[in-house]
Amino acid sequence: MSNRLEALRVFCAAADAANFRDAAVRLAVSPQVVTRAVRELEEELGEPLFHRSTRGVQLTDFGRQLAQRARTAVGGVDALFHRTDRRALSQHAGTVRVTAPNVYGRRLIPEALAPMLAAHPGLVLDLRLSEEHADVVDEQIDIGVRAGPNPSPITL
């Protein structure tokens, strides 16, 4: 991946995900694209960005510092190319994390949220597609969409 900006975008997604596979799903690319982008950044910077294990990946101290700086840099570049209504941006801004199964998430969720995202350009959708139930607290999920029987129904 010769485009440094795109490599930083991929790295930021990987830094925010539990593993490279989850980052790939969020970016709608193959896990190999994420692995390759991270490896190329590590080679170019001469530092490991992640500790890898059979359980997943974890940012190194250097990776954590780079992720903070990369988010700012990527966000700054993105802001150069997006015209926004500053009043709307100040009213509703931030990342909305949504988890949903693949069957809904690929098309239905983005279509349903598109009018809200268009009306509020300060909002960013972080769509996490998975068939597994997310830990909504640890992953800071704002909206969860699931279908099927509730494994632990709430009774009143």
pLDDT of residue 89: 47
Q: 59-112 pLDDT, tens per residue?
A: 999 999 999 999 999 888 888 877 555 544 446 778 888 888 887 777 787 778
Point out the least confidently predicted range of 17-21, 39-43, 87-91, 127-131.
Answer: 87-91
pLDDT of residue 1: 52
Rounded average pLDDT over 32-47: 94
pLDDT of residue 154: 58
> Which pTM value belongs to this model?
0.53
pLDDT of residue 77: 86
String of b and e for 4-27 (b: at least 16 CB within 10 Å)? eeebbbbbbbbbbbbbbebbbbbb
In whole angstroms, give the CA distance from residue 108 to residue 27: 17
Distance of CA 105 to the CA centre of its chain: 14
